[in-house]
């Protein structure tokens, strides 16, 4: 089973994707405010603005279907909030890693799922989500912190494992259960998500 | 004495104005995250994105002068942070009023000061700062809260007075002291700022 076989319900998908981007905006902008380091915080703010632009484009898609964005986003709100609470807290480095890992993985998931939406909407949503997230600044921040204090690496690697666990739990609730997409059959999809996660951790010199 | 007579130092001005917009972005996006109400939080996020766009345009102006934005913004950082700390806290309504009042007043100040920058840069900076802030959503939020619980009005009016006091103290440190701009001579400038503040409070049905 591949992403293209999953066929999520379009309305549900759009509500989830739109709320996720709003949530990424909030996480990144809160980080930007917390960083208080003018060599990184404006870049993180820019990444936040990109997530907001994606959110707005996705709510435009919801309105195009004559649905109400606030209603569509109400359903996924609780589970995304729960993930944010579980992956928040700790040091600033941990919080930056949280956004880098959870948003990275969920973006991959939603971009993958977009491929199995109906053709015209699939093209538009893919174009929205494929735009560069500009989150390199998070990687650069973490690399600079690890370089200054290499002893934080092992803690961050452990934190990364908890993050990926929590995020995959949420991802499992998002992948549609219809069309015979049982746990075993969707495994290849998750293998792909985890491979991308491992590459992100590798780029930080952290064991995934 | 009018705004056009004040002639702030261009480099100092740009650093202050750029940091202020970054700070407004941070305050608005933090509010958006705290609101947790999908009829308001996306609009507040949009207002945050506008402040960030202004910040970015102002740092472009700093770079055009071959100066480093992070260095230019380091000087105003402490005083703006202090204002934020003093005007933060309390209920969500108080926090929304804080941003509405402090950012509103400081925006007026910087837009006014822009008129006395050297002609070409004055035109560009005025165009940047004059763009609609899209902060009507803050007014709408406060109006809806006051309508639901009219008893919060008197507390918010008191809070507004504290806010304007703290903000004017910061404004006094920003208005240039050279060119004979003594306390008495700059009074008309502050009278103008306070009149605009009073109109903002009036629009909320609050006594300024």
Are A74 and B45 in contact (CB < 8 Å)? no
Q: State the angle between helix axes of B69-87 and B10-35 in degrees (0 to 180), rounded to the nearest 10.
A: 50
Tell me which of A59-63, A139-143, B5-9 is least confident. B5-9
Q: What pLDDT was estimated at residue B194?
A: 93
Residue A37: CA count within 13 A, CB half-sphere: 13
Q: What pLDDT was estimated at residue B99?
A: 95
CB A109 within 8 A of CB A102: no
Q: State the angle between helix axes of A69-86 and A10-35 in degrees (0 to 180), rounded to the nearest 10.
A: 50
Helix or strand (DSSP H, E) at A154: helix A153-174
Helix or strand (DSSP H, E) at B39: none
Q: Does residue A194 fall inside a structural domain?
A: yes
pLDDT at A6 over 80: no
How distant is the Cα of B94 from the closest Cα of chain A, in angstroms? 19
CA A171 to chain CA centroid, Å, is: 10
Calpha distance A133→A128 (Å, rounded): 10
pLDDT band at B1 (very low <50, low <70, confident <90, very high): low
Residue corresponding to tokens 């709100």? A77
In chain B, what percentage of residues exceed pLDDT 70? 95
Compare all CA atoms of chain A with the CA of B39 and give the residue at the minimum distance. A70
Compare all CA atoms of chain B with the CA of A45 and give the residue at the minimum distance. B52
Pick the closest to residue B141 from B152, B129, B125 (CA basis). Answer: B152
pLDDT in tens, B9-23: 999 999 999 999 999
Calpha distance B101→B166 (Å, rounded): 11
Pick the closest to residue A56 from A20, A27, A18, A87 (CA basis). Answer: A18
In chain B, residues with a C-beta closer than 8 Å to the C-beta of A42 are: 22, 55-56, 59, 69
Pick the closest to residue B138 from B88, B83, B80, B93 (CA basis). Answer: B93
Asked if this assembly's ipTM is beyond 0.90, the reply is no
pLDDT band at B180 (very low <50, low <70, confident <90, very high): low
Residues of A with CB under 8 A from a CB of B: 22, 25-27, 29-30, 32-33, 38-39, 41-42, 45-46, 48-49, 52-53, 55-56, 59, 69-70, 73-74, 77
Are A49 and B46 in contact (CB < 8 Å)? no
CB A32 within 8 A of CB A48: yes
Calpha distance B38→A72 (Å, rounded): 10
In this complex, the residue of A25, A39, A73 whose CB is nearest that of residue B38 is A73
> If DSSP codes are grouped into helix, strand and coil, which group holds residue B149?
coil
Q: What pLDDT was estimated at residue B83?
A: 87
CB B137 within 8 A of CB B40: yes
In chain A, residues with a C-beta closer than 8 Å to the C-beta of B78 are: none
Compare all CA atoms of chain B with the CA of A28 and give the residue at the minimum distance. B29
Q: Does residue B135 fall inside a structural domain?
A: yes
Give the total number of structural domains in chain B: 1
pLDDT in tens, B160-179: 999 999 999 888 888 876 65
Tell me which of A118-132, B52-66, B184-198 is least confident. B184-198
Calpha distance A201→A143 (Å, rounded): 11
Please give the residue range of the domain that contains residue B47: 3-203
In chain A, residues with a C-beta closer than 8 Å to the C-beta of B32 are: 25-26, 29
Tell me which of A159-173, B165-179, B189-203 is least confident. B165-179
CB B163 within 8 A of CB B102: yes
Are B52 and A30 in contact (CB < 8 Å)? no
pLDDT at B183 over 90: no
Q: Does residue B208 fall inside a structural domain?
A: no
Q: Does residue A208 fall inside a structural domain?
A: no
Calpha distance B125→B10 (Å, rounded): 11
Q: Provide the CATH number for the domain around residue B77.
A: 1.20.1260.10
Work out the average pLDDT over B35-58: 93
Q: Does residue A99 fall inside a structural domain?
A: yes
Question: Which of B26, B74, B78, B134 would you mutate first to test chain A, the one with the most A CBs within 10 A?
Answer: B26
Q: What pLDDT was estimated at residue A208?
A: 79
pLDDT in tens, B94-114: 999 999 999 999 999 999 999
Q: Does residue B75 fall inside a structural domain?
A: yes
């Amino acid at each position: 089973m591949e992403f293209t076989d999953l066929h999520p319900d379009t309305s549900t998908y759009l509500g989830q994707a739109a709320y996720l981007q709003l949530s990424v905006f909030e996480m990144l902008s809160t980080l930007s405010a917390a960083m208080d380091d003018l060599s990184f915080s404006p870049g993180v703010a820019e990444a936040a603005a990109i997530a907001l632009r994606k959110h707005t484009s996705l709510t435009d898609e919801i309105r195009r279907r004559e649905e109400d964005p606030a209603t569509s986003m109400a359903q996924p709100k609780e589970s995304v909030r729960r993930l944010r609470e579980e992956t928040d807290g700790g040091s600033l480095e941990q919080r930056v890693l949280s956004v880098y890992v959870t948003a990275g993985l969920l973006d991959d998931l939603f971009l993958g799922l977009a491929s199995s939406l109906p053709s015209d909407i699939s093209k538009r949503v893919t174009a929205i989500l494929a735009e560069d997230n500009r989150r390199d600044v998070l990687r650069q921040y973490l690399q600079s912190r690890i370089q200054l204090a290499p002893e934080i690496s092992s803690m961050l690697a452990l934190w990364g494992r908890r993050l990926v666990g929590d995020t995959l739990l949420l991802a499992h609730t998002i992948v549609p259960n219809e069309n015979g997409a049982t746990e075993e059959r969707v495994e290849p999809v998750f293998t792909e998500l985890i491979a991308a996660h491992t590459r992100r951790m590798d780029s930080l010199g952290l064991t995934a």
